[in-house]
Amino acid sequence: MKTIPEGFYKPYFELFNKEVLEDSKLFNNKLLELEILRKDDSKEEVDFFTNMFHDVLSFFTQPFREENFDFSDPNFFDKIAAIGERYFKDTRTRNMNANRGSRHFIYMNRTFFGLFNLMFDLKAQNIKIENFKSL
């Protein structure tokens, strides 16, 4: 069974908060904690990866900021694909060391992407995101 360490868990899920996404200093601090940004990065690398991860996380964490979410909406997956393709085609991604984030970061993102795909395949609509709070 995969175990996510507390030192990773807390800053990772803090990135889902709109307040963190909107505060550039706080956002960059979380990226450093999660090993996405490195202390030896050039200004160009910091700017590029900050913008890239802000784009990705702002969109990718959207379901967690909604009361209900429609995973059957093809526009959601089209936008995820478009963001991925845009950065895949960006030559700067290849010119910089794009291997960013700890293995936990990669694992969590792949897990959520797989879950989102499963929910899309099931045409899951009007999913109450924080249903556990009512239990």
Domain definitions of the chain by residue range:
6-130
- The span from the CA of 77 to the CA of 135, in Å, is 30
- The span from the CA of 131 to the CA of 68, in Å, is 9
Q: What's the length of the chain?
A: 135
pTM: predicted TM-score of the whole model, two decimal places: 0.83
Q: Is 15 exposed, middle or buried (0-12, 13-18, 19+ CB in 10 A)?
A: buried
The residue-averaged pLDDT of 3-13 equals: 90
The residue-averaged pLDDT of 87-108 equals: 81
The residue-averaged pLDDT of 39-68 equals: 92
State the pLDDT at residue 98: 66
Q: Is 58 exposed, middle or buried (0-12, 13-18, 19+ CB in 10 A)?
A: middle
Query: Is the pLDDT at 124 greater than 70, yes or no?
Result: yes
- The span from the CA of 16 to the CA of 89, in Å, is 26
The distance of Cα 6 from the centroid of its chain, to the nearest Å, equals 18
Show Cβ contacts of residue 123 under 8 Å, excluding neighbours closer than 6 positions: 71, 72
HSE, CB side, 13 Å, CA atoms: give it for residue 72.
Answer: 6
Tokens standing for residue 129: 């995101």
